Structure 1
Amino acid sequence: MTVSCFKIYVACQSMLIVLVGAVPDYHIDQEGIPASRAELAKRIHFADNFTSIVTEWYLIEQEAYKVSLASSLFFAGLLIGNITFGPLSDKLGRKPVYISGSLTNLTFAVGIAVYALLGYCVREWRYLALVSNTPGIFFLLLSFMLPESPRWLYSQGKMAEAEDVLQYIALGNGKERLNLKLKPSTGALRKDESAPGILNLVKHPVLRWRTIILMYIWYACSFVYYGLTLNAGELRGNLYLNVALSGLVEVPAFPLCMFFIEKSWSGRRKTMTSFLVFAGLACIFTMVLPTNAGLLLSPTLLALCGKMMVSAAFNIVYIYTSELYPTVLRNAGLGVCSMSCRFGGILAPFVPSMKSLSPSVPFVVFGISGLSAGFLTLLLPETLNKPIAESIEDVQSPKYQVLKNEEAEQTG
């Protein structure tokens, strides 16, 4: 429950610039752009329904890039956090660094809608930023009440502590106290051993090829997802409704992708390919629709459909990636892909500003990214109902895979 609420807070942080940096309707007296900011302040007239950093510091025309830069720096901070706190979580534990990972993307989508409601109620941008950031103090204090990951404690040889946490979880689930005694794992690394390093991802041809493709897919998912999310403020219609819908449209994406990836006729690869391709097509088709079209054919509706599709693909890529890497390199593979994902978030805020070239340019950029990532997914193997490799040798040995498949069929 705590982690789910924390995801809502994270969603508000990710979406903060959409309302805090929103550009209201404005007009400038006389033609041309004033040479100085003081002159601009005298000649510009903003709509007075809300305030933002744009109305505060006149971030329009040549200064508009600063809004996109602020959003980009947020994702750059996430990239730094990935590089810094990922290794720390293995040394210090999951809880001290960040509460054992994310629970689900579903609460993140709800968080976007919650932020839209906050923005509707709080129109002054400073107060909105204050309200959105204050819960962070509460979650910081609350995090100390959460137990450490029992799996991490077990991997560190802290059997007694792991047993205590498992007892705590069992009692919290309404179970009776268990007579639990963990045995040391025979497959655990000794202190004088080290797990295969990140260089193994590029050293071996099979893993190198998978890593390159997956890095681009993660980048594209992030690029299109955050691009369409941040672009919600640029769509026609009510600003707050568009932001809320951009979050709520993700809610059906989660059960939808979970349904398809477990079917033998679709699996992981075909499902993710389909969602990415549909997301790309939805973005590209917005350029051929008139802005005054009906609701069923409006560019806004297509953009929301594209957001739902790429959100479903984003959910699948976490599962698919973890199954494509052997156990000994799974954390390294997910870490590298997660870092490439952040580069997509860094670039995404600048794409909506390309509408100055043509209103359809941002959607074409997102569409091409989605389509290319979708087709590249077809180059990866299917993992549904397939044995997961434990070592690097398992990935490289076709004979091993054949034996494993036969074993799976016999036991299944």
Structure 2
Amino acid sequence: MEIEEAYQVVGEFGHYQKRAVAVLILIQVYMAGQSMLIVLVGAAPQYHLDQDVSRFSSHQELSQHVTFTEDVDSIVTEWFLIQQQAYKVSLAGSLFFAGVLVGNIVFGPLSDRIGRKPIFLTALFLEVIFGYVTALAPTYELFAFSRLLVGLMNGGIGLVCFVLTQEYVGKSYWAMTGTLSNMTFAVGIALFGALGYYIRPWRHLATAANSPGVLFFLLCVTLPESPRWLYSQGRTEKAEEVLRYVALRNGNPVGNLTLRRVCKAGRDGEGSGVMRLVTHPVLRWRTVVLMYIWYACSLVYYGLTLGASETSGSRYVNVAMYGLVELPAYPVCMYFINKPWAGRKKSTASFLCLAGISCFCTIFFPEKTGVLLNATSLALLGKLMVSAAFNIVYVYTSELYPTVIRNAGLGVCSMSCRVGGILAPFVPSMRAIHSSMPFTVFCVSGLTAGGLSFLLPETLNAPAAETLDQLHSAPCGRVIHSKVRLYEDDQSKLNRK
């Protein structure tokens, strides 16, 4: 039987799979804390200098003449990262996301080649270690370097963890598990804001935010390898063994479960890796379109986040709101992507276009007014729409790539996503050209990405491709090759005549 038929026998989302997926989803809370750590540990309080800072030639001299007027414990107050040294806080944050970028590129192809579980556990273990280095760092230089390493591991964990939540269950549950992963990340941001409110010393906060990783690592050690990955690699007997184990733990033991034998990925030049995304005609076009969509989602999402966060008040409340504002997007997109009249493609395109239109409409409304409809509310509506699109894109992308190259595809798309996140802070500075320029950029990005989404095939209720050979025959590959096949069928009929 095929792998998808085996899930029908074993159970698409049984008791054991629910527990395994729950652990993987809850890891998103830990990852969110690591991603948002610099926001609170790098908090810059108000301060007073009794002399001109240019006179100070050393860190010790500066510390004797600066007085912080707020009761804040952060890397700023410990290492006096003010004035000419203030850039170091942003640098540490940039190093984290640079690490995430590299982690997406490196760990995706590695997990496709070596396996999901060993790469995932290695990255999780090292992230916990480097997280404690962050909390105990005696100097800024070691702190910044540890953030780079934590980001590197975080990028790998996020990618492989998301894929595992998909591959442990039947395809009909992919949208749900993918959405829950993204929703839990948003909840994790809110919880981190609450944690920072109660734990103020930055070293204690870094330790508390990192410690759940130890528990998650111990829980994940017992998880099995992805049966889909084993099957795609030609390790059919091992895949059958894992499926029987899952069936037993689901309370649905199966005695005779035999999968159809497939050739190991990599034979006859099929291979897995980033190069297949370039050389394979279907994957090449698909990857180019998806990379732009991921880039646009990230640019609009983070750009709007920076714009919406320009409010006064408690920094802890603001951090929590960054997460909570996303939550309504997830049930909305879950509803639409499972409807035949909407599906993945139309939902992605619609939410991106609505995000672009919302940004465009902000040009015609004042930023602050007493009425409900204003630039701020429209910007938040745009963020809601792009959050929904971002969530769908994760699920949609995993369905568009075969198992043998799924992590590599997600890794390349995530790389493009990080580029959008890096560029997003520079967009608000375009106000110097014209006040409407930032929202014009967001509008154009959302509309163009939404339009390109229509070039991708629909994957709703379509069987997932396991190998590159199946990609040509899978429904999600028919859009690109339909004309070629029709021509070949006509030629075959003519030859028979």
Q: 1:181 aligns with which of 257, 273, 289?
A: 257
User: Structure 1 residue 12: deviation in Å?
Assistant: 0.7
- Summarize the Cα distance change of 1:218–1:283 in structure 2 as closer, same or farther, 3 Å threshold: same
Question: Does structure 2 retain, via aligned residues, the 8 Å contact 1:246–1:304?
Answer: no
Distance 1:39 1:289 in 2: 50
Matches within 5 A, 1:244-283: 244-283=320-359
Alignment-mate amino acid for residue 336 of structure 2:
F
Distance 1:359 1:23 in 2: 28
Matches within 5 A, 1:38-57: 46-57=68-79
Question: Does structure 2 retain, via aligned residues, the 8 Å contact 1:110–1:247?
Answer: yes
Is 2:289 the partner of 1:213? Answer: yes
Query: 1:398 maps to what in 2?
Result: 483
Question: Does structure 2 retain, via aligned residues, the 8 Å contact 1:116–1:241?
Answer: yes
Distance 1:252 1:392 in 2: 37
Query: 2:104 maps to what in 1?
Result: 82
Q: 1:193 aligns with which of 252, 265, 268?
A: 268
Distance 1:161 1:131 in 2: 39
Mean Cα deviation higher: 198-207 or 336-345: 198-207
Query: 1:16 maps to what in 2?
Result: 37
Question: Does structure 1 retain, via aligned residues, the 8 Å contact 2:193–2:316?
Answer: yes
Query: 2:28 maps to what in 1?
Result: 7
Query: 2:245 maps to what in 1?
Result: 168
Deviations 1:99-143 (A, max 9, x none): 652242121111111101101111222211111112222222332
RMSD, aligned α-carbons: 4.0
Q: 1:140 aligns with which of 209, 217, 242?
A: 217
Return the TM-score normalized by structure 1.
0.79
Q: 1:70 aligns with which of 92, 99, 121?
A: 92
Partner secondary structure for residue 327 of structure 2: coil
Distance 1:68 1:199 in 2: 34
Question: Does structure 1 retain, via aligned residues, the 8 Å contact 2:292–2:449?
Answer: yes
Task: Tell me the percent identity.
Answer: 57
Return the TM-score normalized by structure 2.
0.67
Is 2:365 the partner of 1:344? Answer: no
Query: 1:101 maps to what in 2?
Result: 161
User: Structure 1 residue 326: deviation in Å?
Assistant: 6.5
Alignment-mate amino acid for residue 293 of structure 1:
T
- Summarize the Cα distance change of 1:113–1:339 in structure 2 as closer, same or farther, 3 Å threshold: same
Deviations 1:241-270 (A, max 9, x none): 222122122222122112223345444333
Alignment-mate amino acid for residue 349 of structure 2:
T
User: Structure 1 residue 296: deviation in Å?
Assistant: 3.9
Distance 1:295 1:67 in 2: 38
Distance 2:358 2:82 in 1: 29
Partner secondary structure for residue 161 of structure 2: coil
User: Structure 1 residue 333: deviation in Å?
Assistant: 3.4
User: Structure 1 residue 311: deviation in Å?
Assistant: 1.7
Question: Does structure 2 retain, via aligned residues, the 8 Å contact 1:284–1:363?
Answer: yes
User: Structure 1 residue 47: deviation in Å?
Assistant: 4.4
Alignment-mate amino acid for residue 38 of structure 2:
I
User: Structure 1 residue 158: deviation in Å?
Assistant: 4.1
Query: 1:129 maps to what in 2?
Result: 206
Alignment-mate amino acid for residue 290 of structure 2:
L
| Greater helix proportion | 2
Distance 1:370 1:7 in 2: 26
User: Structure 1 residue 200: deviation in Å?
Assistant: 4.9
Deviations 1:156-209 (A, max 9, x none): 444454344323323433x143214323x3443377434256445444666544
User: Structure 1 residue 218: deviation in Å?
Assistant: 0.9
Question: Does structure 1 retain, via aligned residues, the 8 Å contact 2:337–2:344?
Answer: yes
Question: Does structure 2 retain, via aligned residues, the 8 Å contact 1:189–1:195?
Answer: no
Alignment-mate amino acid for residue 193 of structure 2:
A
Question: Does structure 2 retain, via aligned residues, the 8 Å contact 1:26–1:47?
Answer: yes
- Summarize the Cα distance change of 1:129–1:354 in structure 2 as closer, same or farther, 3 Å threshold: farther
Question: Does structure 1 retain, via aligned residues, the 8 Å contact 2:296–2:420?
Answer: yes
Deviations 1:337-365 (A, max 9, x none): 22222323444466678899999876665
Partner secondary structure for residue 390 of structure 2: helix
Mean Cα deviation higher: 122-131 or 32-41: 32-41
- Summarize the Cα distance change of 1:178–1:310 in structure 2 as closer, same or farther, 3 Å threshold: same
In structure 2, stretches of 5+ residues that fail to align are 1-21, 122-159, 166-180, 490-497
Question: Does structure 1 retain, via aligned residues, the 8 Å contact 2:108–2:408?
Answer: no
Partner secondary structure for residue 268 of structure 2: coil
User: Structure 1 residue 144: deviation in Å?
Assistant: 1.2
Is 2:369 the partner of 1:309? Answer: no
Partner secondary structure for residue 213 of structure 2: helix
Distance 1:27 1:282 in 2: 42
Distance 2:32 2:73 in 1: 21
Distance 1:295 1:359 in 2: 21
- Summarize the Cα distance change of 1:329–1:156 in structure 2 as closer, same or farther, 3 Å threshold: closer
- Summarize the Cα distance change of 1:380–1:160 in structure 2 as closer, same or farther, 3 Å threshold: closer
Deviations 1:23-71 (A, max 9, x none): 34456668x8655466765665544243322333444454443222222
The alignment of Structure 1 onto Structure 2 pairs a total of residues equal to: 401
Alignment-mate amino acid for residue 260 of structure 1:
F
Distance 2:88 2:47 in 1: 18
Distance 1:124 1:353 in 2: 33
Query: 1:409 maps to what in 2?
Result: none
- Summarize the Cα distance change of 1:165–1:326 in structure 2 as closer, same or farther, 3 Å threshold: closer
